Amino acid sequence: MAVKYTPEPFRIKSVERIKMLTRSEREQKIAAANYNLFGLRGEDCYIDLLTDSGTNAMSVEQWAGVMRGDEAYAGATSYYKLEAAGRDIFGYGYIQPVHQGRAAEKVLMPLLLGKGKYAISNMFFDTTRAHVELAGARALDCVVAAAKNPSVRAPFKGNMDVAQMEKLINEYGAENIGMVVLTVTNNSAGGQPVSMQNFREVSAVCKKYSIPLNIDAARYAENAFFIKRDEKEFQNTPIKEIIRQMFSYGDMFTMSAKKDSIVNMGGLLGVKEAESPLVLKIKANCISYEGFYTYGGLSGREMEALAIGLYEGIDEDFLRYRIGQLEYLAGRLDDAGIAYQSPVGGHGVFVDAKAMFPHIPYSEFPAQALAIELYKEAGIRSCDIGSYMLGNDPDTGAQLEADFEFTRLAIPRRVYTQAHFDIMAEALISIKAASGKIKRGYRIVWEPPILRHFQARLEPISG
């Protein structure tokens, strides 16, 4: 059944020209990029769905804030506005700006993790997993079983498997678990939300074993919208109150503000207790890695835009439209019989490339193959969330097999229209119709030792 497109709760005031290259040109461009979507120039992508991080359209209020930015090195008024917004929305005593989410991880994780330590998550995203490993620790994924079957339509498929989490704590020893990370929404599992009940249960286990709970909060507002929509207890609760309760169960949070806070650069690190000894250590690391703690790698104008974006991102009319866009695209895929992680998540449609190309093994990266075909077909840049992104075992060097082989279409906020979504759907329909002609996947001919998918070079496998 066709899903009605949710109208935009805004009007367009400024535009940016985009251009569609010919099929022949696109084939040349992706080959020149060594079949790595990150190697393409932005100007060569007609619809850019590589990420929803920092690719959003800021509002007139945010652009006005840019002009008001206070560029004082220490103690800028823009910092205090951002700090006040963070305390108001999240209820945490200490708010540390950083330049993006991975910077928050770089500052925090070495303080809690090291050699012989482990971190448990409902599912680590690539940069978070990398920072766990860079700190010398090892990452353990613990998502609920329902998430591993994309065709199963169940609410809150981003949840932590709490029983499995407690089993891992006892197996490895509570003293060796440096932190638990609850990722909301769960990006690697398809943008799937985490329920408030799961927050409570995860928090209770962490308190039982005295393990710090960190919330990876890049898409906190979208997660709160799903809680309001799908947990009966919260159907009449304002989004801001839901967010406050979500964060009350954590001890700290790391956040890329380039997603739900609708800015092009920025991040936050929060600690619930302002007088925690951890705060002084965070300030010291921030000064060393990011800059003085009242700017943390951000200009005053960026902090000003972020303080405004924190509130715009939790507006319920905006969130209804935001999720509605994803449901529209998912509805078109349902009509065409194209499998994806269902129900659709908050920030993108995660197409099941294993279902699209069942004959391509994980070692030939079917999700990367689908991403390449999407670019060739319609100039759409997406990315692999599968074995290619997961990489190699840090101890043995063997290629790991991911639980999913997803090609992620990450949707920037306030950027694309219904016509663009129709092009996305039609491109996938065309690829599905010709899927039997795509016999093999890709091999890596060069890769860096960590976060390889950003830089690796690939080639098609013939035969």
Q: Report the catalytic residues.
A: 73, 125-126, 216, 218, 259, 453
The span from the CA of 341 to the CA of 330, in Å, is 10
Structure tokens at 83: 């700090």
- Structure-token match 């109208």, residue found: 7
- Structure-token match 């917004």, residue found: 85
* Contact predicate 236/262, CB 8 Å: no
How big is the chain by its Cα radius of gyration, in Å?
Answer: 21
Read off φ and ψ for residue 141, nearest 5 degrees.
Answer: -90, 145
DSSP 277-334: HHHHHHHHHHHHHTSSTTTTT--HHHHHHHHHHHHHTT-HHHHHHHHHHHHHHHHHHH
* Residue 354: closest CA among 421, 402, 422: 402
Tell me the sheet residues that pair with 180: 120, 213
The span from the CA of 53 to the CA of 33, in Å, is 21
Specify the amino acid at residue 11: R
The span from the CA of 143 to the CA of 230, in Å, is 19
